[in-house]
Amino acid sequence: MTETITLSDAKAIIENQIEELAKRNREPEWMTRIRYKALEAFERAPHRDPVISEEELLHFIAKPEIEGLPEKVESLDDLPPEMKALLDRLGISEVEQKYIAGLAVQTDTGVIYNQFLQEWAKKGLIVLPTEEAVRKYPDIVKQHFLKLFRADESKLTAYHTAVWNGGIFLYVKEGLKVPFPLHLFFLIQESALAQAPHIIIIAEKNSEFHLIEGCTAPILVRHSLHLDMTEAYLHDGARAQLTVLQNWPEYVHTRPMTRARIGKGARFINTTVGLGSGRSNVANPKYWVDENGYVELNGILLGQKDWYVDLGGEMYLQGPGAAGINASKAVIMDESRVITRGVIKAEAPKTKGHISCDALLMSDKAVMETYPGLVSRVDDAELSHEAAIGKIREEELFYLMSRGLREEKATQLIVKGFLEPMLKDIPMEFLVEIRRIIELAVSGGM
């Protein structure tokens, strides 16, 4: 790095972005004031990141876009050759490839989705870009925007709050049960292409839904630092499932920020399938669980090349009978490093929590570290953890190869079998692509 970017330089750049976003989004003054307060917090907020130094962060702010990518993608032929080849190997359809590339296309499927959302809006399911929700439902957004975070927690939260753009607002009214998974591919893609999308999920009492975010194929993002923030509010008796599919390009640093409040008797299952973590991925989601509430955090990770993945997960069991599970399975290849740091804190009677971490090391240079944390403030909590880190056993390979499988196929079969229990709730159309990506990764085809 030759050019020096000062904190004052970065603040001036952020201020210009705030003005542009406020004008472009036609946002109300109260939201712009939130942005400016975050800008004030940015200067004094601490910066704690194991990979990105403060100097590097200031450079990301000054020059957010990656050099060397095509300036304008007008057709699939403009994509980087390695990305186009991978999409072809994955069997991704041409229409889906266009969305992944950020090309604006009109399809019958998009029209059908719009009609579908309009019909369900009459029943109480609201799905909008967050910018639009700020204008259409200001009272609801005010009650929930940045209520689980503080802008001054870190420079990253302050930066996100100041320049957030894109994202999804999902509201499910009381008693409404959505009987099928919501994979809002077209809306999600626009969110993923933004640098700092803000997602708000509100499930009123006794409502039910399953939201699928992202897709299994790599997305052509132009920025080098991705800061998405998700705030989820599950009211009493609500049941929600969030499945996040991630496959970031290897030049992107991702810092997902997720927090959720789970009401009495509510149930939240959050499954993240990390098929590509980007250059580095550092996350520490937090969950507050009320009486008889339940949260389940499932993580599936593929570590490749020299990627760095550091995933936490804090659960606060605050109501009697609250329960939580934090489970992860990682396949670690090449020289990648994966760290898991799950923490469960029992703060009320008759609470239960369990942390499990399983890792399969595919290389002598692959590294796995796990740091479970169990804290009980009461006498009758049940907290436990288990971890298993190892390599594929030679006898397993020998047995499969003796049955006629080549070593590569036998290895793929063992890896897929290792991950399969975590994939039980993934819809079949995504399972096919996930399994194909696992096969390519194990065989070195990624």
Residue 304 lies inside a defined structural domain of this protein: yes
Instruction: Give the bridge partners for 245, in sequence order.
Output: 214, 273
> Would you give per-residue pLDDT tens digits along the chain (446 residues)?
457 889 999 999 999 999 999 999 999 999 999 999 999 999 999 999 999 999 999 998 988 766 666 666 666 676 667 666 766 665 655 655 655 555 443 344 444 456 777 888 999 999 888 999 999 999 999 999 999 999 999 999 999 999 999 888 999 999 999 988 887 654 555 555 568 889 999 999 999 999 988 766 566 666 788 899 999 999 999 999 998 888 887 888 899 999 999 999 999 999 998 888 888 999 999 999 999 999 999 999 989 889 999 999 999 999 999 999 999 999 999 999 999 999 999 999 999 999 999 999 999 999 999 999 999 999 999 999 999 999 998 899 988 999 999 999 999 999 989 999 888 878 887 787 788 888 888 877 55
What does R_g of the chain's alpha carbons equal in angstroms?
22
Q: pLDDT digit string (tens) for 185-214? A: 545 555 555 688 899 999 999 999 999 887
C-alpha dist (Å) from residue 131 to 134, 153, 169:
5, 23, 9
Q: pLDDT digit string (tens) for 276-315? A: 888 899 999 999 999 999 999 999 998 988 999 999 999 9
Q: Which pLDDT score is estimated for 186? A: 46
Q: Which pLDDT score is estimated for 268? A: 98
Residue 336 shares a structural domain with residue 270: yes
Helices (H), 45-150: 54-62, 81-90, 94-100, 108-121, 130-136, 138-144
Residue 62 lies inside a defined structural domain of this protein: no
DSSP symbol at 423: G
CA–CA–CA angle 266, 271, 277 (5° rounding): 145
Residue 184 shares a structural domain with residue 309: yes
Q: Which pLDDT score is estimated for 39? A: 97
Residue 217 lies inside a defined structural domain of this protein: yes
Residue 405 shares a structural domain with residue 263: no
Q: pLDDT digit string (tens) for 117-148? A: 788 899 999 988 899 999 999 999 999 999 99
Residue 281 shares a structural domain with residue 383: yes
Are 391 and 363 in contact by the 8 Å Cβ rule? The answer is no
Token digits for 309? 């993945």
φ, ψ of residue 253 to 5 degrees: the values are -90, 125
Residue 55 lies inside a defined structural domain of this protein: no
Q: Which pLDDT score is estimated for 218? A: 61
Q: Which pLDDT score is estimated for 248? A: 81
SS3 352: strand
Choose the final residue of a domain: 361, 379, 395.
Answer: 395
Residue 195 lies inside a defined structural domain of this protein: yes
Choose the final residue of a domain: 359, 376, 395.
Answer: 395
Q: Which pLDDT score is estimated for 104? A: 43
Residue 413 shares a structural domain with residue 365: no
Residue 387 shares a structural domain with residue 410: no
CB within 8 A of 296, min separation 6: which ones? 268, 269, 270, 324, 325, 327
Neighbours of 328 (CB within 10 A): 24
- Which residues constitute the domain of residue 409? 396-445
d(CA 274, CA 419): 12
Residue 358 lies inside a defined structural domain of this protein: yes
Residue 66 lies inside a defined structural domain of this protein: no
Residue 307 lies inside a defined structural domain of this protein: yes
Residue 404 shares a structural domain with residue 388: no
- Please list, residue by residue across 426-443, b when 16 or more beta carbons sit within 10 angstroms of its beta carbon and e when fewer do: beeebeebbbbbbbbbbe
Q: Which pLDDT score is estimated for 245? A: 81
Residue 356 shares a structural domain with residue 331: yes
Listing DSSP states for 249-294 in one string gives: -TT-EE--EEEEEE-TT-EEEEEEEEEEE-SEEEE--EEEE-TT-E
Residue 221 shares a structural domain with residue 316: yes
Domain count along the chain: 2
Residue 418 shares a structural domain with residue 363: no
Are 203 and 173 in contact by the 8 Å Cβ rule? The answer is no
Q: Which residue has the tokens 């929930």?
A: 144
Residue 267 shares a structural domain with residue 198: yes
Residue 344 shares a structural domain with residue 419: no
Are 103 and 156 in contact by the 8 Å Cβ rule? The answer is no
